[in-house]
């Protein structure tokens, strides 16, 4: 390491060191640590005490293309840093060149494990700028809550499944993805797609629930009530599982607040911060559920917390399904035809494209309908100048879209506060001083999604 000093002679903490290519570089490719240590012994001096290794960006245990730069003393981690940017997509910049509705199809691809939350926070911001929050149909809000809680389930299932896989609990992985497939089947039934839905739109949702959807949802809830106890039986009191997770990745409340960490990591410190309760949106204040907390501030507490949150999501899904059963035929899109897109959309008999009746109406019966449809799709609607930020509680914490309009048909700026990006700051604090094998556990407990980090 090469130190740099400021002109006054005192060390600058923000530019204190820079990496060089001096010294021998070791490529660790699966051999025993004794072999590496023997090679280091030949170097002597400082080289024997300090090794810097790269973990990732192509590594099965870094939850995507995350690169970790680890400084090791034996198998203890003395310093840990994140290298991000390998999945940069330019989504936020691209949204400036698309209409307000087209922006939904971009932001849904950011945190690809919780797409409905990306869509919801963006649309809530646009609706606040349009001043139509009170005009959103109740059925649209109930459908949004239903989809978000189903999405919270699927996201937590992936977190627990991949976390189990990374410590060798393969059964947890297989049953986790088994249940997630059931949720994706419901998404496909309701929206036509398993992911990247673009279903939540400014003004409501794209279309109504298809016939039989509520029966499928209720069947899924009944099945999950039988399946969720399997995770508890496999892991909660499992001595091997607990030994790998208890006391690992410790981050207390003070550390969470200092780093802006939210979600399950924050609630694992015992602090009941959940935006569904503290700053309700989409009518969450009308649902009966409890904010789950734990008091251990470690990876084990975060696992137990997510397991408990899935039970709460099932309670909300049941309530939403009961409400939707009484809303047959009610609108799911705002009444203002200058905003509602798609306008009176009806799916064709093949499940794709517009229905013939819809095409016949806009093409043959009403010139005004054709012109309006053309302008709405190609140009889009105008949004009054201003800015809005509406945060929501995603599976990973506070997710918010800062949406800025200059009065045009496209966003002037759309910037997302993604919880994975903020939470990833804690990786170094959680890992330093622990063992190399515990780094993976700490990352898994953060549950970062790199699509949301890099955007």
Site of tokens 């499944």: 161
Alpha carbons within 13 angstroms on the beta-carbon side of residue 170 total 0
What does the alpha-carbon distance between residue 26 and residue 34 come to, in Å, rounded to a whole number?
14
pLDDT at 376 over 90: no
Give per-residue pLDDT as tens, 435-449.
888 888 888 888 888
Band of residue 8 on the pLDDT scale cut at 50, 70, 90: very low
Say what the pLDDT of residue 434 is: 82
Strands (E), 202-283: 204-205
What does the alpha-carbon distance between residue 323 and residue 187 come to, in Å, rounded to a whole number?
19
Say what the pLDDT of residue 16 is: 47
Mapping DSSP to helix (H, G, I), strand (E, B) and coil, where does residue 188 land? helix
Instruction: Return the bridge partners of 57, or none.
Output: none
Helices (H) and strands (E) in the chain, counts: 18, 11
Say what the pLDDT of residue 365 is: 65
* DSSP element (H, E) containing 403: strand 397-405
Q: Mean pLDDT throughout 203-212?
A: 87
Band of residue 38 on the pLDDT scale cut at 50, 70, 90: low
What does the alpha-carbon distance between residue 420 and residue 443 come to, in Å, rounded to a whole number?
11
Say what the pLDDT of residue 216 is: 92
Say what the pLDDT of residue 316 is: 93
Angle at 27 between CA 47 and CA 19, to 5 degrees: 55
Say what the pLDDT of residue 28 is: 56
Under DSSP, the state recorded for 236 is I
Q: Mean pLDDT throughout 33-58?
A: 66
Give per-residue pLDDT as tens, 330-369.
888 888 777 877 655 555 555 556 666 766 766 666 677 7
> Which residue ranges does the chain devote to CATH 1.10.645.10?
91-341+380-454
Band of residue 241 on the pLDDT scale cut at 50, 70, 90: confident
pLDDT at 415 over 60: yes
What does the alpha-carbon distance between residue 126 and residue 98 come to, in Å, rounded to a whole number?
14
Domain 91-341+380-454 has CATH 3.40.50.1950: no
Q: What is the pTM of this model?
A: 0.84
Say what the pLDDT of residue 212 is: 87
Lowest mean pLDDT among 7-11, 105-109, 149-153, 202-206: 7-11
Give per-residue pLDDT as tens, 169-207.
788 888 888 899 999 999 998 888 888 888 898 988 888
pLDDT at 453 over 70: yes
Q: What is the CA radius of gyration of the chain?
A: 25
Say what the pLDDT of residue 437 is: 84
- In 3D space, the residue among 288, 210, 298 whose CA is nearest the CA of residue 249 turns out to be 298
Say what the pLDDT of residue 20 is: 47
Lowest mean pLDDT among 5-9, 381-385, 410-414, 426-430: 5-9
Band of residue 14 on the pLDDT scale cut at 50, 70, 90: very low
Q: Mean pLDDT throughout 246-272?
A: 89
Question: What does pLDDT average to over the chain?
Answer: 83
What does the alpha-carbon distance between residue 82 and residue 57 come to, in Å, rounded to a whole number?
10
Strands (E), 86-149: none
Band of residue 7 on the pLDDT scale cut at 50, 70, 90: very low
What does the alpha-carbon distance between residue 284 and residue 278 come to, in Å, rounded to a whole number?
10
Residues 6+ apart with CB under 8 A from 401: 107, 118, 121, 122, 124, 125, 389, 390, 414, 415, 416, 417
Instruction: Return the bridge partners of 121, or none.
Output: none
Mapping DSSP to helix (H, G, I), strand (E, B) and coil, where does residue 392 land? strand
What does the alpha-carbon distance between residue 305 and residue 236 come to, in Å, rounded to a whole number?
11
What does the alpha-carbon distance between residue 267 and residue 398 come to, in Å, rounded to a whole number?
12
Q: Which of 230-234, 270-274, 341-345, 370-374 has the highest mean pLDDT?
A: 270-274
Band of residue 394 on the pLDDT scale cut at 50, 70, 90: very high
Mapping DSSP to helix (H, G, I), strand (E, B) and coil, where does residue 91 land? helix
Give per-residue pLDDT as tens, 103-115.
898 989 888 899 9
Say what the pLDDT of residue 32 is: 61
């Amino acid at each position: 390491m090469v130190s740099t000093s400021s002109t006054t002679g005192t060390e600058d903490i923000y530019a204190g060191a820079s990496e060089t290519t001096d010294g021998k570089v070791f490529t660790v490719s699966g051999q025993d640590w004794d072999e590496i240590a023997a090679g280091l012994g030949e170097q002597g001096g400082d080289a024997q005490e300090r090794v810097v290794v790269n973990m990732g960006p192509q590594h099965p245990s870094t939850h995507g293309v995350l690169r970790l730069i680890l400084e090791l003393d034996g198998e203890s981690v003395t310093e840990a840093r994140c290298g991000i940017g390998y999945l940069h997509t330019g989504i936020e910049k691209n949204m400036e060149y698309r209409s307000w509705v087209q922006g939904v199809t971009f932001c849904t691809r950011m945190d690809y494990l919780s797409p409905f939350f990306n869509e919801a926070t963006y649309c809530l911001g646009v609706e606040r700028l349009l001043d139509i929050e009170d005009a959103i149909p109740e059925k649209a809000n109930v459908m949004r809550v239903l989809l978000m809680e189903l999405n919270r389930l699927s996201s937590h299932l992936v977190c627990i499944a991949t976390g189990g896989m990374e410590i060798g609990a393969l059964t947890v992985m297989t049953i986790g993805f088994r249940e997630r497939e059931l949720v994706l089947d419901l998404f496909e039934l309701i929206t036509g797609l398993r992911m990247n839905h673009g279903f939540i739109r400014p003004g409501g949702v794209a279309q109504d629930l298809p016939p039989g959807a509520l029966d499928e949802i209720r069947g899924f809830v009944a099945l999950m009530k039988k399946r969720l106890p399997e995770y508890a039986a496999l892991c909660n009191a499992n001595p091997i599982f607990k030994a790998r997770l208890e006391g690992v990745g410790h981050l207390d409340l003070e550390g969470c607040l200092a780093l802006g960490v939210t979600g399950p990591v924050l609630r694992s410190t015992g602090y009941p911060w959940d935006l569904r309760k503290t700053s309700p949106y989409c009518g969450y204040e009308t649902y009966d559920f409890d904010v789950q907390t734990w008091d251990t501030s470690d990876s084990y507490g975060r696992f137990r917390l997510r397991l408990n949150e899935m039970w709460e999501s099932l309670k909300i899904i049941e309530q939403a399904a009961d409400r939707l059963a009484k809303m047959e035929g009610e609108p799911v899109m705002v009444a203002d035809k200058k905003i509602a897109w798609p306008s009176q959309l009806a799916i064709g008999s093949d499940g794709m494209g517009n229905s013939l009746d819809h095409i016949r109406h806009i093409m043959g019966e009403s010139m005004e309908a054709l012109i309006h449809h053309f302008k709405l799709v190609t140009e889009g609607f105008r949004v009054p100048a201003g800015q809005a930020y509406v945060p929501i509680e995603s599976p990973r914490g506070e997710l918010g879209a800062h949406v800025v309009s200059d009065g045009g048909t496209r966003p002037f700026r759309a910037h997302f506060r993604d919880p994975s990006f903020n939470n990833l700051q804690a990786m170094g604090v959680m890992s330093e001083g622990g063992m190399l094998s515990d780094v993976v556990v700490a990352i898994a407990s953060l549950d970062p999604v790199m699509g949301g980090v890099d955007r």
